[in-house]
A and B are shown apart, each in its own frame.
Chain A
Amino acid sequence: MVAIGGALRRTLFRARTYLRLVYLLLGAALVLAFGIVDLGVLGTLATAGVSMPVLVLLAVPIVVIPPALLGLVPAVRQVESVAAESLLGVDFPDGPPGPATTWPQRRRTSVWFLLHLLTGLIAGVGLAIVVPLAITALVLPFTDDKDGIWWYVPAGIGMLIATVAVCIGLGAAVTALAPRLLGPSVDDRFEALEQRAARLSERTRLARELHDSVGHALSLVVVQAGAARKVRDTDPAFVAAALDAVEEAARTALTDLDQVLGLLRDEESADPGEHRPVADLRQLDALIAATRRAGLAVEPEVTGDLARVPAVVSRESYRIVQEALTNALRHGTPPVTIRLDVRATEFGIETVNAVASGRPSRRAGRGLRGIQERVAVLGGELSAGADDGRWRLRIRLPLPREESR
């Protein structure tokens, strides 16, 4: 008894209990709104001469269907989730869910919405009807001379306790149900896990490639440096060549390191938390201006709305263009033409420039690798090659369809 009393006291003196009551009363307010409409409709039908049994039959769909339909609206999931978190105190592990994106989510939200109205109705009836009744019952024996109504007092107390208990119970029940109906379903979780796994395996692949390319370069550096030390006094020409090779290999390795770390970092900053502005296609004009200042004539041609390109693709595309311009600056002959083409389901990037004759294409090939990695991460296609003395790089990146975004 003491334990129950203690628990009751703790429950009654907790702010959460009353916040939950607020949530239930919100449901009651909604019931009131729907109820006014329902009464109007039923009243109209009654005056139109619809018989009582038919009216009773019609009442159920007339009452249930409108809120059920409203519950299917995607935004309801977000509104209800935020309310459930702040008022009911539901702890969604990944934060309150956003608007519904799939039909199962919409259906579950609809069920939840009906549940919210039903519990609101019960709580509303309790507070608006039972509580005044109880107060009347408590007061009446002291103000009325009638005999034999002393039992009104315990009955009133009983009604008050019952109302409080029902409200607390309903609050606890909806709180327990919220994660199941509003939170991510098994399918949602599975999908999130798959996405996470794909991201992780992508990171692992990038890390392994980094490991391989840097390992390769450092081995080369060690072998060449060791050999140079060994023949220092006998073969000065070899030593000079070795120094060149060491410089080149170390530089390439650092470039690779930089690029891959950049890709990994981009993924990290896609998570909330550390926010650093990352350049995307909105900064394209500045990039082109800077490239021109560096002495490369650039002719951009943009078709379609660049603002339609999703942020991730935009960032990676900026880097791709940047890399392509750097390559052109190193190996090509101006001018460089850049064509960006935003279509319904794909984004095309094309760069064309003349190739300086007699230059080896080996280093250009290395610069291309960074671009290739970005394209691969985005699931795009790349073709590059020289034709007719012109170097042409063509990239196609898939874009999500507009309605699914």
Chain B
Amino acid sequence: MSPVRVLLVDDEPLVRAGLRAIIDAEPDLEVVGEAGDGAEAVSQVRATRPDVVCMDVRMPRVDGIEATRLLVARSESPRVLVLTTFENDDYVYDALAAGAYGFLLKRSAPEQVTAAVRTVHTGESLLFPDAVRRLARAHRGRGEAERPGLPMLTEREGEVLRLMARGLSNAEIAAELVLGVETIKSHVASVLSKLDVRDRTQAVIRAYESGFVPLR
């Protein structure tokens, strides 16, 4: 299997250098390019065709949110892993809402960095489900007026969506519901298509925003 192709986007060259050393040390991961801001990131994506983009949020000129929006608007786009200094940064949720798959604190240990890149690449489970819920709760009420309702899900699909929000992978959901992994996969695919979203993170955010999954 060819290694996962990673693009690093951060305005601080030393952060990029550090992440490159961490990621390149793994045989199954490979840094294929670097960019210093969001605009450069978009052209680098075109040139290097990465699987995962590690994207700083706060950058001069085009920031990480705008770049994420630009990237996910295209088909065949890579998954975006947002890098942030602080979890309590309004930008993080904005980036997730803009289509990022997950976020990673820059202070994470090297092992967490590589694990996060792999999770984002496979898209099999939600990254840091508790943190996503906290962020959604902190941003509850924004745009409450046009809060979109969820389209009709079957009871089974609803159950699967709730377990997705808890961060369970397909295999874990299958074990929980005593069903086959293939069955779960088709339920997940059906949820994503009914909600008209690209991935689990977006589905979970929709589930929180619509109130389908309570924010506790």
Please give, as numbers and ranges, the residues of chain A lying within 8 Å of B106 by CB-CB distance.
219, 222-223
* 27 examples of A-B residue contacts, CB within 8 angstroms: A211-B86, A219-B106, A219-B107, A220-B15, A220-B18, A222-B107, A222-B108, A223-B14, A223-B22, A224-B14, A224-B15, A226-B18, A226-B109, A227-B17, A227-B18, A227-B19, A230-B21, A230-B110, A231-B21, A231-B25, A235-B21, A238-B17, A238-B21, A242-B18, A242-B21, A245-B14, A249-B14
Q: Which of A226-260 contact B (CB under 8 A)?
A: 226-231, 234-235, 238, 241-242, 245, 249
Which 6 residue pairs are nearest across A and B when measured between Cβ atoms?
A: A223-B18, A219-B106, A227-B21, A227-B18, A215-B85, A226-B110
Please give, as numbers and ranges, the residues of chain B lying within 8 Å of A261 by CB-CB distance.
none
Q: Which residue of B lies closest to A235 (CB)?
A: B21
CA–CA, A234 to B27, complex, Å?
14
Query: 1/0 per residue A209-220: CB within 8 Å of B?
Result: 001100110111
CA–CA, A235 to B19, complex, Å?
14
CA–CA, A234 to B25, complex, Å?
9
Q: Which residue of A lies closest to B24 (CB)?
A: A231
Please give, as numbers and ranges, the residues of chain B lying within 8 Å of A224 by CB-CB distance.
14-15, 17-18
Is the beta-carbon distance between B107 and A218 smaller than 8 angstroms?
yes
CA–CA, A234 to B18, complex, Å?
14
Count residues on chain B whose CB falls below 8 Å from chain A CBs.
19
**B176 sits at the interface (CB 8 A):** no
CA–CA, A238 to B16, complex, Å?
13
CA–CA, A324 to B109, complex, Å?
39
CA–CA, A285 to B35, complex, Å?
49
> For B12, B18, B85, which residue has the most chain A Cβ atoms within 10 angstroms?
B18
CA–CA, A238 to B24, complex, Å?
13
Is the beta-carbon distance between B110 and A215 smaller than 8 angstroms?
no
Is the beta-carbon distance between A227 and B85 smaller than 8 angstroms?
no
CA–CA, A216 to B84, complex, Å?
9
Query: 1/0 per residue B80-102: CB within 8 Å of A?
Result: 00000110000000000000000
Q: Which residue of B lies closest to A246 (CB)?
A: B14
B211 to chain A, nearest CB (A): 32
Please give, as numbers and ranges, the residues of chain B lying within 8 Å of A226 by CB-CB distance.
18, 22, 109-110, 113
CA–CA, A216 to B106, complex, Å?
9
Please give, as numbers and ranges, the residues of chain B lying within 8 Å of A223 by CB-CB distance.
14-15, 18-19, 22, 106
Please give, as numbers and ranges, the residues of chain B lying within 8 Å of A212 by CB-CB distance.
58, 85
CA–CA, A227 to B8, complex, Å?
14
A112 to chain B, nearest CB (A): 51
Is the beta-carbon distance between A220 and B109 smaller than 8 angstroms?
no
Q: Which of B46-74 contact A (CB under 8 A)?
A: 58
Please give, as numbers and ranges, the residues of chain A lying within 8 Å of B113 by CB-CB distance.
226
Please give, as numbers and ranges, the residues of chain A lying within 8 Å of B22 by CB-CB distance.
223, 226-227, 230
A-B contact sample (4 more), CB < 8 A, given A220-B18, A228-B21, A229-B110: A219-B107, A223-B14, A226-B113, A234-B25
